[in-house]
Chains A and B, each alone.
Chain A
Amino acid sequence: MLGAAMIGIAALVLTGCADSGTAPPPPVPGQADTSGYDQIIAGSPVADAAAIPAGSWADKVKQRGKLIRGGTDQGALFSLKDPATGKVTGFDAGLAAMLAHYITGKSDADAVELVITTVDTRETLIQNGDVDAVFATYTITEPRAQKVAFAGPYYQSGTSVAVRADDTTITGVGDLNGKNVVTQANSTAVLALQQFAPQANAILLQDDPQCLAALQQGRADAYVIDESILVSAASRNPAIKVVGQPFTQEPYGIGLPLNDPSAKQFVNDWLQKIYADGSWAKLWQATVGSVVKSDPPAPPAIGSVPGS
């Protein structure tokens, strides 16, 4: 991990020096190609004036001229900040930018203001009105739906298992009991692990690089998290491999204020529009699809899970 950090710093310095050049940096696996990505957002639909009634949730965003999004800047594939440019890209970040574009008609970086949220703060920040919407691989659960409204689900994911490449003893979630299993402390994979491998010794770390380091250094025998994150990691790192099939269904939703029903209705209508015109599939292809290497899945039906 230290070595990786050093390389990261060196890369930062190098890109900093190379800014005056015109050659674009080589694409990094797991990160979106941002030129195509920007076009997808700019090409996504814009709401008719009639769709935004005065005083509604969307009208407040429109008057302000930007969407205040709750989320993270450290989620590979979904919402990751490029330290060289300061730009946050990914599937969640792109959807937030599309929603801001839909409401305000703007697709520049100022259309979305990112407020960093964690699992500990998401519901409270929505309830207090500090953020308009949370896009943060936010799994729809019924306890959460008591506090916030969920638009969507907009993506159906699943928790999977990764192990060191030379490990042949673990072939799926069924082999995890009694093993040291690392996962991200703020993910629903923690709950999935408790349910599917209750005898596993769970180690909860803060982020993806820490979990990968723990797996490679032998602190943990397996790493469980969203499958796309594992596929992305395995594509960059030959020392680990993904085993078995996803063992959960994680419907991701957009967290919205519960006390303003116009918000959920409006965002669901917008999701239908980007499903229908293909913007959703194009964004998936440019982000998660860049490592999963398959055709875009069919988007999940709006309101199809409890709590949505």
Chain B
Amino acid sequence: MGVVTDNLGFLLGGLLVTLELTVLGFAGALVIGTVLAVFRVSPIPPLRWVGAVYVEVLRNMPLLTLLVLVVFGLPDIGIRFSLFTSAAICMAVFAGAFVCEAVRGGINTVPVGQAEAARSLGFTFTQSLRYVILPPAFRTMVQPLVNIFIGVVLGSSLASAVGVSELTNRTQVLNLQSAEAVVLFLVSGAIYLVIALLGGAAGGVLERRVSGGR
């Protein structure tokens, strides 16, 4: 354990980077995913196609592939983001595809009759989404979104493979110095476990809160 206590600051710095990647990635994914879900349920076919193609491409590609393409491929065509920015963008666009499907799935749980009722009352598409469909849909989205959040937390460890100095990357550096792989990876595994559990607990609280009116 000496290697962990001696390098606590270094590891916690990595944890901070992991948390930043998670928060930025998940927040970006919520925005991208919600917009795409609206595209996918919209009455305009080209928008539905854009949403469908985005989801099918991003959801069916390994995150590591996406990271390598953004970090090493984009500079070949003259676009170079920092390693951290690249990783955050990848997390957001990748998880965005999953958020889209979670949101769309939630919207689809609201009976079509409610949308028809809203329309017959003269609601526009935006109004019926905002006031009639999304509030009950959100309740059924919470648990899928928690799963995606956990996916983002754990997926952020792949950023270590493209040189982002986050928790996993720093764990590897410490192992290089100390040859204590088992201890170090147990500790970093426990840290990921705690972040994911806290995310799950927050999701539980949120779920009870949004279904409180029932």
Contacts and interface: CB of A to CB of B under 8 A. Distances in A.
Contacts of A1: 72-73, 76
Nearest to B76: A2
A190 interface: yes
Contacts of B108: none
A120 B163 contact: no
Nearest to B169: A204
Nearest to A2: B73
B165 interface: yes
A141 interface: yes
A40 B4 CA distance: 46
Interface string B157-179: 00011110100010011011111
B73 A186 contact: no
A186 B22 CA distance: 25
A281 interface: no
A5 B178 CA distance: 35
B204 interface: no
A188 B179 CA distance: 12
A303 B140 CA distance: 66
Contact of A121 (B83, B161, B169, B181): B181
B73 A205 contact: no
B80 A186 contact: no
Contacts, number: 73
Interface residues of B, number: 25
Range of interface residues on A (Cβ < 8 Å): 20 to 34
B75 A219 contact: yes
B181 A124 contact: yes
Interface string B179-194: 1111001000000000
A205 B181 CA distance: 19
Nearest to A139: B176
Given A182-B163, A205-B162, A210-B72, A123 B179 contact: yes
Nearest to B64: A206
Which secondary structure dominates chain B's binding surface? helix
Given A1-B72, A121-B181, A213-B72, A206 B161 contact: yes
Looking at B75, B169, B172, B176, the one whose CB has the most chain A CB atoms below 10 A away is: B176
Nearest to A189: B176
Interface stretch (A22-30, A142-150, A154-162, A294-302): A142-150
Contacts of B83: 203, 219
A143 B72 contact: no
Nearest to B180: A143
A124 B186 CA distance: 14
Interface in B68-125: 68-69, 72-73, 75-76, 80, 83
A204 B83 CA distance: 11
A119 B80 contact: no
A13 to B, nearest CB: 21
A3 B75 CA distance: 12
Contacts of B69: 2
A214 interface: yes
A186 B173 CA distance: 8
Nearest to B81: A219
A141 B72 contact: no
A147 B182 CA distance: 12
Contacts of A182: 163
B80 A217 contact: yes
B169 A141 contact: no
A219 B80 contact: yes
B175 to A, nearest CB: 6
Interface of B: 68-69, 72-73, 75-76, 80, 83, 160-163, 165, 169, 172-173, 175-182, 185
For the complex of A and B, list the 10 residue pairs with the smallest distance between their C-beta atoms, beginning with the closest.
A217-B75, A1-B72, A203-B163, A144-B179, A205-B163, A143-B179, A120-B181, A2-B73, A213-B72, A204-B163
Given A119-B172, A123-B181, A210-B162, 5 more contacts: A2-B73, A119-B175, A120-B172, A143-B179, A205-B163
25 contacts: A1-B76, A120-B172, A121-B181, A123-B181, A124-B182, A141-B179, A143-B177, A143-B178, A144-B179, A147-B179, A185-B160, A185-B172, A186-B172, A187-B176, A191-B177, A203-B83, A203-B163, A205-B161, A205-B163, A210-B162, A213-B72, A214-B72, A217-B72, A217-B75, A217-B76
